[in-house]
Structure 1
Amino acid sequence: MKTQRRKRSRRINKGNLAILMVIAVAALALIAAGGAWLLSNREPAFMKSKTASSEVLKDKSKDVLLAVYYPQSEDSTFLAALSQNAENIFNDLKTQTDGYQKEKKPLMIKADYQMNVTQDRYVSLEYTIARNENETVEERQQAYFYDLAEHQWIEASSLLDEAALKWLAANLRVQLKNDENTQAAAYTLPVIEATAWDSGNYSNFTLKDGMLIFNFPAGMVSEKAYRWEFPISNLGEHFLLDVGQGRLPENNVRIAPRLIDPDKPMVALTFDDGPHPTNTPQLLNLLQHYDGAATFFMQGMRVEKYPETTLMVINSASEAASHSYNHPKLTKLKGDNLLFQLNRTTELVQELTGWQVTIKHFRPPYGASNALVKENSAYPLIMWGIDTMDWKTLDPVQTVDNTMASVKDGAIVLMHDIHAETVTAVEALLPKLIEAGYQLVSVDEMLNAKGVEAYNGQRVYSAYDIKD
């Protein structure tokens, strides 16, 4: 009898052992398949919110964990807006993960937030969307604005007018060129395009402590995600909300900052016979888009006729220069008539700007000069090394080809902003020059960067070709 009990006990022990082995093997299989998290109801630390008192939308499958958090609020209208916004984010993220199959561990995506309120009215809601795929974490930021008084979301881009966008673009480009981590790419066409003053490039920002905080995703302006802060007050009235941070006074002249690398090739585009009320602004916008500047040799009679366009040139990164008052051949003039043509445009610009800006360079009409012109000129005489013949061919393709065939470092290129065909040519020309490695600069910028000093009356054909 005792022997039978011992045998039965052994059989029971062996049975229990077999069951335990099956359970262990199953558990190991789950772990190997990346399903260990299914054995526990505990949430991975990665998926938890860093903000207390949050609401959350969640989705959980064997392949994907998804959580979108949003703030609580006693304002029922605001809470409904927050909830709907979170639902929109949740649905977008869920759509992006449809069909995802894990390799080892489930994909984890969490949208968590930080919130700031300005003037007890404007809510900045910044989401950090973190994606954890097999322990590799990527993050991006997305900002939203809400007006508690009007109970509505505000498009961030609608808070910045055109002048603000241009000012931001100019300052960001200087920042990127000064940052050793981004300066190499800052001169390339993709980054120049990504920092252009299109509102979409500057729509992802929040407000905090008087600063605009911009977030650029990895690959946009640098290899890694890039965060940039800019004082709201520096935008003056061009930031379209009064958020109580004070404003810098608006000046008649506000020249955008520029940073030129003297060791990189550069070319100076020049435009004669303007300003033109349509073509000149279009050229300025193209130049600003491509982080460029040029020199506009203006006739005084057109400065008088188009003062607003003249101020657009002066307030841009480009250079305003003189092309006489009404384009006579200076070699046929002398005395007061010659002095009038040499100096009147400068006087008009000074009067227009309250004497804040003066002219540094002069281009004689037709490139014609003689000893008397050179003796009486208070400026270097800026000639050209490349004549695009835009005025003659009125052919944008030919204008581009003529430039690219002869361009080299230090070149001065002649064009005319009174022709619409030239605008078309420049739109195609600028990216070609950038891709060829050139910086787009004004004559003044180029001479300064090259350390070239041109004296009054000297003729300048390029940064390397100056004649008495």
Structure 2
Amino acid sequence: MKIEAKNTKRQHRSSRLPILLFSMAGIGAAVAGSLFLSTQGWSETTRPSFLEAEDRQLDQALHEKQDAAEIVVFYPQEPQAVQATARQQAGLLMSALSTAYAEWPAASQEDPKPILIKADYHTEALAQNAMSVVYLIQKKVGDHIEEEHWGYMLDQQTGELIGAEQAFDQTGLERISALFRDAMKNQEATRSLAYTLPFIQASAPRAENFSRFYSEGDQLTFLFDLPVPAETLKENGEAEREEEISHDEVNIDAESKLDKSKQETSEQESIHLDPESPLQWSLDRAQLGSHFLLKPAEDSGNLFIPPRTVDPDRPMVALTFDDGPHPKNTPRILEALRASDGACTFFMVGTNVELYPDVVKAVAESGSEIASHTYSHPNLTKLSNDRLNYQLNRVSELVSELTGRQIQVKTLRPPYGAVSEQVKEASAVPLILWSMDTLDWKTRDAQKTISHVLENVEDGDIILMHDIHAESADAAAAIIPQLTAMGYQLVTVQELMEAKGLEMVPGQKIFSGHPASQ
């Protein structure tokens, strides 16, 4: 799985190459304006053999000749139901290609012959009458040929385009979103974009964000129109942040919470991609298992734990939630985190782990951290050795068994924050406390919790909340997008400490990611 951003020399037809020649915004819409289809210069004896297809005639294609380029776009004729839509898509492709090369002066080439462009296709039948149309676009300049891919999905019975809402269930969209976001963070050309609010919103796990795609073999390929450079993104992010903060009547200066040097660095960043070019990104459909409904693969039986990348040079906070999991509140918090490309740490009580195993698995598959809040929430400083060890270790055993040993509990929060020398010596993991106590358990007032967090948050904070209270879930649903708009990454405790370069050892009391607090 990777993001590809360059054309290469001629390769085998099945190779995965990006299409960065043109923008296909509104791919399902009709072509704006009329399309000029010239037939001059296309006789059987004069057209270049490169533009011919092995098994098709030019009456199965759109064709055009310009001063700078000659273009042929073939399109499916069968079944009859798809022909109109296939021709429309070919028109969109032709329009984009002709626009892209209209201003290329043929005289600037060593051989002033037109560029030759052929877009030929093959189809792949999927389940539920779906058909994937995959184009190989070849551009020939002299003896050099560059290749790119593009495609779309059709219903063979109705001829209508197929979108993500028909191809993926919600779990599939969540996996696609998580994998795409992480891939963008790990490509130099898109790294700056990947942490911005407009991108986070545009890559949320909703069908409309992933409706442009096609299938080829074991690969699914998605097309995205990238936003404009970082300066504009920053302006858009600030505007949205001001709107959200005003909506919740929280009057704070968000920028004052960010480190000035990091602000200056951010302002100098730019996106090194043409804003008029779409990004093409592919993944192995096996990663979606049965959640790609048009060609389901067998589910592995393991939890899908999404990759996560944290930028140590950007501000971050660790939201933490105690006493759960809760069957209603915890999923609400997970939904808000997914929408904002965030994760947090859930300090779970063992009795609730036993009651709500599906919620525990959902936390793992969201990318958030599962941590221990002891088995039954006692004051650890008042327990004998055997009882203490049981409370310290039982949650780890439960989670390991429940997740097929995919998840190991690596942190613990002592109930009431009570720690003694005996507790520290007995603990096999670090003891996580907090730098901000929202007192949400006491106030049970969502607006007070929202205001307290947004008015006092600092880079490196570990924030204490409770997912057993509906008011706290309400507050989290508001806090999470606003912290994201303020420029904070929402990370787990382990991610926070690793990004800050701080050590975590068994029995150590940890209050925050602020180096001075350790």
- TM class, shorter-length: 0.7 to 0.9
Aligned positions of 1:274-423 closer than 5 A? 274-423=324-473
CA gap 1:394/1:465 in 2 versus in 1, 3 angstroms: farther
Task: Please point out which of 205, 209, 233 is paired with 1:201.
Answer: 209
Q: Which has the higher strand share?
A: 1
Any gaps of 5 or more consecutive residues in structure 2?
Answer: 1-35, 64-70, 96-117, 137-148, 229-270
Residues 209-220 of structure 1 correspond to what in structure 2 (within 5 A)?
209-219=217-227
Judged with a 3 Å threshold, the aligned counterparts in structure 2 of structure 1 residues 41 and 248 are, in CA distance, closer, same or farther, namely closer
Q: CA distance change for structure 1 residues 258 and 68 in 2, over 3 Å: closer, same or farther?
A: same
Find the partner of 1:53 among 58, 66, 85.
Answer: 58
Residue 439 of structure 1 pairs with residue 489 of structure 2: yes
Give yes or no for contact 1:53–1:71 (8 Å, CA) kept in 2. no
Q: Could you tell me how far 1:274 is from its partner in structure 2? A: 0.4
Query: Which residue matches 2:124?
Result: 118
Once the two structures are superposed, the pairs formed by residues 55-70 of structure 1 within 5 Å of their partners are none
- The structural deviation recorded for 1:465 is 5.7
CA displacement at 1:233 relative to structure 2: 2.2
When residues 116 and 422 of structure 1 are mapped into structure 2, their CA distance, relative to the original with a 3 A threshold, is farther
Report the CA distance between 1:188 and its aligned residue.
0.8
Contact 2:322 2:348 in 1 (8 A): yes
CA offset at residue 423 of structure 1?
Answer: 2.1
Q: Cα–Cα, structure 1 residues 266 and 88, in superposed 2: closer, same or farther, change >3 Å? A: closer
Deviation (angstroms), 1:317: 0.6
- Determine helix, strand or coil for the equivalent of 1:164: helix
Q: Is the CA contact 2:213–2:221 (under 8 Å) kept in the aligned structure 1?
A: yes
Decide whether the 8 Å contact of 1:54 with 1:69 is kept in 2: no
Question: Shift in Å at residue 287 of structure 1?
Answer: 0.9
Is the 8 Å Cα contact of residues 432 and 511 (structure 2) preserved in structure 1? yes
Alignment-derived partner of residue 83 in structure 2 = 82
Q: Quote how far apart the aligned CAs of 1:444 are.
A: 0.9
1:71 matched residue in structure 2? 75
Instruction: Give the counterpart letter for 2:182 in structure 1.
Output: V
What residue number does 1:166 align with? 174
| Equivalent runs, 1:118-157 vs 2, <5 Å | 118-119=124-125, 122-125=130-133, 144-148=152-156, 154-157=162-165
Give the fraction of aligned pairs with identical amino acids, expressed as a percent: 41
- Which letter does structure 2 place at the counterpart of 1:116? H
Q: Deviations over 1:315-367 (max 9, x none)?
A: 22100000011212222222222222111111111121223322100001111
Q: 1:41 to 1:371 in 2, by over 3 A?
A: closer
Give the structure 2 partner of residue 236 of structure 1.
289
Q: Offset of 1:408 from its aligned partner?
A: 1.4
Q: Which amino acid aligns with 2:223?
A: N
Amino acid at match of 1:71: Y
CA contact (8 A) 1:458 1:466 kept: no
| Superposed displacement of residue 53, structure 1 | 3.5
C-alpha displacement of 1:157: 3.0
1:137 aligns with none
Q: Relative CO higher for 1 or 2, CA cutoff 8 Å, sep ≥ 6?
A: 2
Point out the more displaced range, 218-227 or 441-450.
218-227
Note the C-alpha offset of 1:298: 0.3
Pair 364,70 (structure 1): closer, same or farther in 2 beyond 3 Å? same
Question: Do the aligned partners of 1:399 and 1:425 also contact (CA within 8 Å) in 2?
Answer: yes
How far off its partner does 1:435 sit? 2.4
Task: Give the SS at the match of 1:190.
Answer: helix
1:150 Cα offset (Å): 8.3
**Cα distance, 1:252–1:124 mapped onto 2, change above 3 Å:** closer
Aligned to 2:246: none
d(CA) in 2 for partners of 1:116 and 1:419?
55
The reply on whether 1:182 has 2:235 as its aligned counterpart is no
CA change 1:116–1:157 in 2 (3 A) is farther
In the alignment, is the contact (CA less than 8 A) between 1:275 and 1:306 conserved in 2? yes
Q: How many Å separate the matches in 1 of 2:191 and 2:508?
A: 35
Deviations 1:212-238 (A, max 9, x none): 111112428973421111122222222
8 Å contact from structure 1 (residues 125, 145) kept in 2: yes
Q: Which residue of 1 aligns with 2:280?
A: 227
Change (3 A) 1:200 1:260: same
1:79 alignment partner AA: Q
Cα distance change on mapping 1:72 and 1:456 into 2, 3 Å: closer
Matches of 1:206 and 1:164 in 2, distance apart? Answer: 15
- Please report how far the alpha carbon of residue 289 of structure 1 lies from its aligned counterpart in structure 2 after TM superposition: 1.6
Task: State the structure with more CA Rg.
Answer: 1
Corresponding residue SS for 1:184: helix
One-letter code of the match for 1:433? L
In structure 2, the residue corresponding to 1:356 is in which secondary structure? Answer: coil
Seen in structure 2, the aligned counterparts of structure 1 residues 374 and 227 have a Cα distance that, compared at 3 Å, is same
* Residues paired across the two proteins, number: 386
Query: CA separation of 1:87/1:119 partners in 2, compared to 1, >3 Å: closer, same or farther?
Result: closer
Which residue number corresponds to residue 253 of structure 1?
303
Per-residue CA deviation, residues 63-88 of structure 1 (Å, 9 max, x unaligned), is xxxx9977352x4xx32432156569
CA contact (8 A) 2:332 2:477 kept: no
Specify whether residues 338 and 467 from structure 1 end up closer, same or farther in structure 2 by C-alpha distance, changes over 3 A only: farther
Q: Does the aligned pair in 2 maintain the 1:273–1:416 contact within 8 Å? A: yes
Please state how far the C-alpha of 1:124 moved relative to its aligned partner.
2.1
SS across alignment from 2:511: strand
After TM superposition, the score normalised by the length of structure 2 is 0.66
Give the superposed CA RMSD.
3.6
How far apart, CA to CA, are the structure 2 residues paired with 1:226 and 1:178?
14
Residue in 1 that maps onto 2:313: 263
CA contact (8 A) 1:275 1:309 kept: yes
